[in-house]
Structure 1
Amino acid sequence: MEITKDIFVVIEYSVRLEDGSYVKGEGVPVSLNFIAGYDQIMPSLEKRLLGHAQGDETEFVIPAREAFGEHDPRQVHRKTFEEYPQGRSLQVGKWVVATNPETQAQYGYFVKEKSEEGVVLDFNHPLAGKDLYYRVKVVHVRPALKEELEYVRPCEHGEDQETTEAMSLQ
Structure 2
Amino acid sequence: MKITKNKVATLSYTLNVDGFEGRVIESIGKEEAVEFIFGTGIMLAAFENALEGMEKGEAFRFQIPAEKAYGRFNPNAVVELPKDIFLRDGVLNHEILFIGNEIPMMDRSGKRMNGIVKEVTETKVLMDFNHPMAGKDLYFTGLVSDVREATYEELNPPAHSCGCGSGHDHDHGRNHDHGGCGCGSSDSSNDSCCSSEEKGHGGCGCGA
Q: Are residues 1:91 and 2:98 paired?
A: yes
2-side partners of 1:121 and 1:11: how far apart? Answer: 34
> 1:140 maps to what in 2?
146
* Aligned residue runs from structure 1 range 1-170, under 5 A: 1-18=1-18, 20-25=22-27, 28=29, 30-79=32-81, 83-85=82-84, 86=86, 90-92=97-99, 94-100=100-106, 106-114=112-120, 118-151=124-157
Shift of 1:145: 3.0
Shift of 1:74: 0.7
1-side partners of 2:105 and 2:118: how far apart? Answer: 20
Q: Note closer, same or farther for the CA distance 1:102–1:76 as it changes in structure 2 (3 Å cut).
A: closer
Provide structure 1 residue ranges, at least 5 long, that are not aligned to the other structure. Answer: 154-170
SS of aligned partner of 2:157 = helix
Q: Note closer, same or farther for the CA distance 1:147–1:107 as it changes in structure 2 (3 Å cut).
A: closer
**Percent identity, aligned pairs only?**
30
User: Which has more radius of gyration?
Assistant: 1
1:127-161 deviation line (CA, Å, top 9, x unaligned): 111111111200111222344333389xxxxxxxx
Q: Note closer, same or farther for the CA distance 1:10–1:75 as it changes in structure 2 (3 Å cut).
A: same
1-side partners of 2:156 and 2:120: how far apart? Answer: 50
Provide structure 2 residue ranges, at least 5 long, that are not aligned to the other structure. Answer: 160-208
2-side partners of 1:116 and 1:8: how far apart? Answer: 51
SS of aligned partner of 2:46 = helix
Q: Is the 8 A contact 1:8 1:144 kept in 2?
A: yes
The total of aligned residue pairs comes to 148
| Residue type of the alignment partner of 1:67 | A
1:7-32 deviation line (CA, Å, top 9, x unaligned): 22111112121172222117x46511
What TM-score comes out, normalization by structure 2 length? 0.59
SS of aligned partner of 1:151 = coil
Structure having the higher helix fraction is: 1
